[in-house]
Chains A and B, each alone.
Chain A
Amino acid sequence: MTAIKELNPNAEIARAGQALLLNVNAAKGLQEVMRTNLGPKGTMKMLVSGSGDIKITKDGNVLLHEMQIQHPTASLIARTSTAQDQITGDGTTSNVLLIGELLKQAEYYVSEGLHPRVATEGFDLAKIKALEVLDLIRVKIGAERHMLINVARTSLRTKVKQDLADLLTEVVVDAVLAIKREDFHIDLHMIEIMEMMHQTELDTKLIYGIVTDHGGRHPDMPRRIDQAFVLTCNVSMEYEKSEINSSFVYKSSDQRERLVLAERKFTDEKVQRIIDLKKKVCSGPNSDKGFLVLNQKGIDPLSLDMLAKENILGLRRVKRRNMERLMLACGGEAMNSVDDELTSDCLGYAGVVYQHTLGEDTYTFIEDVKNPASVTILIKGPNNHSIVQIKDAIHDGLRAVMNAIEDECIIPGAGAFEIAAHSAIIDPEFMNDIKGKAKLGAKAFADALLITPKCLAQNAGLDPQDIIVKLQQEYSTNKFPVGLDIYSGDAQFPIDSGIFDNYRVKRQLIQSATAIASNLLLVDEVMRAGMSSLKQAS
C-alpha cells in the first residue's frame, strides 16, 4: 500500500474519507462531552478519582486538563482550547464546541462532493467577515466599575452558583481596580490568592492588604497589633556555623560553652539591632505602636524569644513573591542587612495586624495599609473541592476584568454576536462576492457559529430551533444585537441587561477554531508508526 507499510508493517494508517471521519468523530465526541457545560444553565461535572477524591467543575479548561484524553485528534483540540485559556483566560468550552461544529457542518458538504480545500477557503472568507462584525458590534468602555462588573458577572455566572458568582464579581473587579495603575500593564500577580478551609464559600472576600499563611512561632508574641511599623528584611536570624569545615576545639565543658556563646553572639547582634530600632521608633508619642518583622530567611527559637520579649511579632520564611507585595502594600524597603543603614526610613506601616489560627495553620492578616497596591483574595470554603472550584472561577474572573480593561471594549453576550455574524455571512450581499463552491464553506461556517446560542437554549431546557428562529427574526427587524434570555426563553438586548463577553476571547476563539478545523479538514492520511510513546498514549 503506502510506503510506510513497506518500512514498518505495524504501521496503522487511515486515508482520505476514513481520515476525515476519524477527525470529525473525535471532534464531535469532545463536543458531546462539553456541550452540556456551556452557559449559566449548563451542568456541573463531578470528577471522582479512584481514591474518592472529588472535583466539581464546569470550567471547560479544568475539564480538559482533568480528563485524560487519549484520542490524538481530541487531544489536539484539547490543546488548542488550553492555549485559548492561556491567552485569554476563558472561552475553552466555546472553542471545543465551535471546532466540533465546524467539522460537523463541513462534513455534510464534503460528503456531497465539496473538496475540503474549497471548504476551508470558504471558512477563511467567512472568518474575516465574522471578525468585521465583531468589530462593528463591540461596545467601547473605559474602566468604569459597573461595566467591568457586567463582564465579570457574565463570565462567573457560567462557572459557579449565582449568589456566589455575584459575590465573586465584586471581589474580582475591586481587586483588579485596586492594583491598576495608570499607564502600567496590569500585573495579576499582585493579587495574592489565599485559601482557608473555614466557614462557607460566601465568606470569600477581598482584603486590602496581605494575608500570609504562617504566623509568629512563639507563644508570647502579640496576636494582634494596632498601628504597626513593618520591617521587611532578608537577614538570617538563625544560629549558623561560620565555616563549613570548622569544628570546635575545646578542653572542658566550660570552654565549649564559651565557644557556643561566641558563635551565637553573631546572630544575637543582628536581632539586637532590630530590637534597638523598635525601641527607637516606638518611643515618645509612638509608644503605643507595635512592631512587625517579616523575614525572608529563618528565625530560630532563641531569636524568636528575644523578639517576643520586646513584644515584636516576627514572621520567618516569608515567601519570596510576598516580599515584593509587602513593600507595595505597606511601603518601606526590604533590608538585606541590619547594618548602619537600618533606620526608621526603611519601615512600612500597617493599620492593623492580627493572626487567625485554624488547626495547625496560622494566618496573619496585614490590613489597613498605606497604599493597597497589592491585595489579597481570601477564599473560604468548607472543603477542598469547593475551594478549588472558587479558585478556578476567580482566576477566570480576574482575567475577564483585565481583558476588558486592556481591550477597552466588550461584546454583547448571550449569543448576540453569533446571531449577528450569521446573518451578515448569509447575507446575499456578502455571499455574492464569494466565487464558486467556497460559498458552501462560508455557509457551513455561518451555521456552525450558531452552536453557541443553540447550546445555551438547549442547556436551559428550551427548543434550540425555536430560539434560533425567534432570535433571527428579532435581529432582522431592528438590526440591534439581540441575545437569548435563558430564563424566559425570549429574545433580549444584552446591552440593556448587562450581559457582556470579552472582545479578545471571541476574537481568539474565531481565529483558533477556524485554523484548527481547517487543518483537520485538510488531513487526508493519518498514520501511526514507531514512536513508542504515541502507541502507549492511545
Chain B
Amino acid sequence: MQREIITLQLGEYANHVGAHWWNLQEAGFIYDPKQIALKEVENDILFRQGLTFRGEETYTPRLLLFDVRSSLRTLPEQGFLYKGDSSRGGVTWNGAIEKVERDITSNNKETSEGEDIAMEVTDQERITGACYIPSDTTIASDVMSWSDYLVTQLHPRSVNLIPNEVEIGFPHSNSYCMGSLCLQNAEFSQLIENQLHFFVEDCDNLQGFQLLSGLSDGYGSLTSQLLSSLSDEYHKSGKCCIPFLPSLPLIDSFDTFSPHLTLALNLSDWLEHASMLTPLSNSQLPLPFLHHQSNSYHTASVLAAAIDTASLIYRIPESGLDMQDYTSILTASGRKLTSLSTLLPFPLLRESTLLHSLSLHPLISAACLTPSVHASCTPITACNIVRGIPPSYKLFGTGTSSYDSFTSPNDLISHEFGSKYSGCNSFSMLANSPLTLRYPFPNIFSSNITHDGFITSHISTDTVESRLATNPVKSIPVSTAIENHNGLFTLVNNCVELFQNKTYLQLFSVAQKLELDTLQETRHSLLDVLDRYPVPEDLVLQSDTDSD
C-alpha cells in the first residue's frame, strides 16, 4: 500500500536544500518504458498526481514551503501549472487603475535566465537525458534565491508567504517570538490549515511528515508551532525533522547570545514533538573529492544529495519500513537526536574491486554533516544506505579466499558495516539506482571523478570548468549513515550551558516577551534530554548550581 509523506520546508536555507532535492528526485525519474523494471524509488510517496482546470495532468511534490516574498523572485506564488483564466473577467472596476510595480530590483538578467532553466527541460529531453547546459559556469554567483534553480514545478498550494507585518524581523536571528506572531495572524494560520488540509486529505494512508527548517531564526520557532499542532492532530504519524544549524558566532555580546538561545529553545520544542531530529550544518562540510564553494547554492546541493540518499529507506517500498518503524528503531530510549554522515561520492575505484576500494577509503572515513558532535563515539543504533554500486562491479579480486562466501555487494557492505559498528543495532540497505545528477546541480566534484561517479587514478589535466562542458558527472554512488550515538550529547550540553548567563537570559526574556519561568522550564526539559545520555569521561558536566 502506498504511504504518502508530506514535506514542509521553512526558511531560505531549507528551501535551497529542498530545491536541490526535488531537482535530484526529478532527475532520477525513469521515463523510458523499457527501463521501468529498474524503478526502485516509489515517487508517489513524495509526489502527487493532479489535474489542472484544463484537464492537464500534473505531478507535483506534496510540499508546503514557507518563505518571504522576495525569495520567490520570478516564481509566481501559484506556480506555473495551474494558471487561472485571466483572459476573462480581469479587472472588475469601472474607474481608473494605477499600476504599481513591486520588487523592481529583481527584474534583472539572471532571473530571466533562471526562468529559462526551469522552462527549458522538455519531456523529450527528459527521456533522452539531454539537457541545456549554459556555457556560463559562474552560475553560482548569479543565483540569488532557491527559486532561480528550482526545476520541479510546484502545486499552487505549496507556496506560503510569511505575512508582511512580521516579515521584517524574520531573517534576523533574534526573532524567537516571530513564529507565534505569525500564527496569531488569523489569515495566515487559516491559510496554513487550508493548505495542509489539502495535502493531508489527498493522502490515502499518511505515513508522516518531513520538516526541513532553520533552527536559530524565526522559522525555527514557526516550525515549533507547526510541529506542536501536527503532533496534536496527527500524533500517530512520523515526523522527521532536519534542522539546519548555521555556524553561529561565538558569544561575546547579547546580540550574539540570542541566536544561540533561540536555537536552544527551538531544539527543546522540537525534541518534544518530533519523532526524530537530524541536525545538519550548512557550513564547512569536510568532504574529500568535492570542491564546493561556501555559498548556499553549493552547500545545499551537498546536503540535498545526502538527504535524498538517507530518505531512500522510507521511499523504497521493498525496504518494508515506514517512517514510524524507521524512526522508532533509530531513536531508542527516547533519544531523538541522530547524526547524518555520508560518503559523497561512495569511493569506487575505476577498474578495481569493491574490497580494494573499501580498504583505501574505509567506511569509517564518512564525513559527519551534523555539527557539534563529540567525535569517535560508537553508535547505539544506525541505519546505513549505500546506493549505486553497479551490479557488474567486481567484489574482490582473486586470491582473497577469506571473502569467498560473499556473493553480493550487500554481504560485503554489511560485513564492513558490522565491523564498523560492533555491538550496535544497525541495519543497512543497498539500493541499485545511483544518485542521478543533472544541471542545475552544481559541478562540485574534483577532477578525478569520472562522469559515472568512479574515482580514477589518473587525474585529468582539464580544469573543472572545461570538463563541465565536455563530460559532466552524471551519476554517483553515495552512502549515508544515520546514527544515534552518545556524541550528540555535546549539542544539547552546549544549549544547557547557555542558561547559566542570567543577565542575558533576563534581557532575552524582555526582548522576546517571554517569562523567565518559561526559559527555566526549557532548561529543565533540556536537562531531561541530557539525562538520557551517559556523561563522556573527558567531558565533566558542570554541576547544577541553581538554587531553584
* Chain A contact residues, CB within 8 Å of chain B: 36, 41-53, 56, 58, 65-68, 79, 82, 160-162, 164, 197, 200-201, 213-214, 217, 238-241, 244-245, 247, 298, 300-301, 316-317, 319-321, 358-360, 381-384, 386, 389, 532-533, 537
Contacts and interface: CB of A to CB of B under 8 A. Distances in A.
Nearest to B2: A301
Contacts of B197: 214, 317, 319
B328 interface: yes
Interface stretch (B163-171, B305-313, B454-462, B516-524): B163-171
Given A67-B100, A197-B84, A533-B168, A50 B53 contact: no
A200 B74 contact: no
Given A51-B77, A213-B194, A298-B200, 14 more contacts: A41-B95, A51-B72, A51-B74, A52-B76, A53-B77, A56-B91, A58-B93, A197-B84, A240-B236, A241-B324, A359-B53, A382-B85, A384-B78, A533-B172
B169 A244 contact: no
7 contacts: A44-B95, A46-B91, A46-B100, A50-B73, A50-B107, A65-B165, A68-B164
Given A197-B84, A201-B89, A53 B97 contact: no
Nearest to B238: A244
Interface in B130-181: 163-165, 168-169, 172
A104 to B, nearest CB: 22
Main secondary structure of the interface of B (DSSP, over half): loop
Contacts of B203: 298
Contacts of B324: 241, 244
B399 interface: no
Given A162-B94, A197-B53, A359-B51, A47 B85 contact: no
Contacts of A317: 197, 200-201
B94 A48 contact: no
B92 interface: yes
Contact of A48 (B78, B86, B102, B201): B102
B548 interface: no
Interface residues of B, number: 61
B193 interface: yes
Contacts of A201: 89, 92
B233 A320 contact: yes
B513 interface: no
A44 B111 contact: no
A113 to B, nearest CB: 39
B34 interface: no
A161 B92 contact: yes
Given A245-B328, A320-B233, A384-B84, A50 B74 contact: yes
Contacts of B82: 359
Contacts of B106: 50
Nearest to B203: A298
Given A382-B85, A384-B84, A66 B164 contact: yes
B201 A316 contact: yes
Contacts of B90: 383, 386
Contacts of B51: 359-360
A43 B97 contact: yes
A537 B92 CA distance: 35
Contact of A383 (B50, B76, B85, B204): B85
Interface in B485-530: none
B197 to A, nearest CB: 6
Given A36-B98, A301-B204, A533-B169, A44 B74 contact: no
Contacts of B74: 50-52
Nearest to B54: A359
B520 to A, nearest CB: 27
